[in-house]
Amino acid sequence: MILGVGTDLCDIRRIEQTLTRFGDRFTDRIYTPLEIQKAQKRGASAANRYAMFYAAKEACAKALGTGFRDGVFWRDLKVDNLPSGQPIMALSNGALERLQTLTPDDFEAKIDISLTDEYPMAHAMVVISAQPKRA
């Protein structure tokens, strides 16, 4: 069963300007240390990665039905990857609490995420679903 769907489009040029203007003040407020490390590995195209992560966080906050309020904060939403490279979203703190309230008893939540970028835009889609718990 689908619990929430969110999508977001982020202008990479806006992220480039924000990185130039605010640097670490911006990244430390929005991104987890792992996300910063992954973006910085991209060198000159770090802004593309930051924009995809930004879009993913926005999309997930929308899928949770709260946006960034009611205890859901930017760093509560972490983009990571499985060993296969598939992107995943890990939630903590207020975002995890919100997910738990959305998930019916005897079900477990699953978050599917899709990321893409084509300069000057980055896009993310998040689908939160619930599956019956396995016995």
Bridge partners of 68, per DSSP, are none
Owner of token pair 């906050």: 61
Q: Is residue 100 within 8 Å of residue 3, measured between CB atoms? A: no
Q: How far apart are CA 88 and CA 16, in angstroms?
A: 24
Annotated binding-site residues for Mg(2+) read: 8, 58
Annotated binding-site residues read: 8, 58
3-state secondary structure of 12: helix
